[in-house]
Amino acid sequence: MKKITISLVFILISTLIFWNLKNRKIITEDHVDSVGAVETGLVNTNSDVTQQDSRESDDNHFEGHLKSLPTIDDLKNLTEEEVHHTPEIIKDGGELVGVIYDEAQKDPTKRVDAMNFFRKCAEDEKVAVPIRAVCLNRVYKLIPEWEAPVPLIDSKISDEVLDLSMKLP
């Protein structure tokens, strides 16, 4: 009887976890491959947003801005005085992320491109950690609001970036 009860509890908990992930639409390539996601219903194949998101957009409005973000190498070139305060290049990078968010917030047709920008920014190991954390935070916060899920590759997001992104408001 104990085995049956434990099995039922396990199935119930597994179902609740699966249902929660399905409703939040947070899918990462390391957790669910695209075929499995479609078969299990985690991805709405009728959605234009999902279809656009699954392929790289050649006409991404924000693609050029990725090169404008501060890199780790840029931080190595800071003066002693700049190191003791938030460097201007970090402030400028944060401002750029904010401008992209504002633009996509005002024009819903740009949201998929903005989410792809945030994903690429969060996964780019050359971009400065604070900026990557802001981008990752945007991805997590905007997926439910914009209903524009993007696949994240967990292995490209360091624990440092993940921890910092979770501390942001």
Q: Where are the domains of the chain?
A: 45-167
Secondary structure of residue 27 in the 3-state scheme:
coil
Contact, 149 vs 27, CB < 8 A?
yes
Higher pLDDT, 70 or 139: 139
Percent of all residues in the chain with a pLDDT value above 70, rounded to a whole number: 64
Residue 32: per-residue pLDDT: 35
Percent of all residues in the chain with a pLDDT value above 90, rounded to a whole number: 44
Backbone angles phi, psi at 71, to 5 degrees: -105, 170
Query: pLDDT band at residue 6, thresholds of 50, 70 and 90?
Result: low
Which range of 5-9, 20-24, 33-37, 138-142 scores highest in mean pLDDT? It is 138-142
Residue 3: per-residue pLDDT: 60
CA atoms of 96 and 130, how far apart (whole Å): 13
CA atoms of 124 and 103, how far apart (whole Å): 22
Average pLDDT over residues 153-159: 93
Secondary structure of residue 62 in the 3-state scheme:
coil
Average pLDDT over residues 125-131: 95
Residue 78: per-residue pLDDT: 85
The H-assigned helical ranges of 25-127 are 34-40, 48-53, 72-76, 80-83, 88-106, 111-123
Residue 148: per-residue pLDDT: 87
Residue 76: per-residue pLDDT: 87
pLDDT tens column, 30-89: 333 333 333 333 333 333 433 343 334 444 668 778 887 988 888 888 888 888 888 899
CA atoms of 85 and 106, how far apart (whole Å): 32
Mean pLDDT over each residue of the chain, to the nearest integer: 74
How far is Cα of residue 110 from the mean position of the Cα atoms in its chain?
A: 16
Q: Which residue has the tokens 């957790």?
A: 31
Contact, 128 vs 72, CB < 8 A?
yes
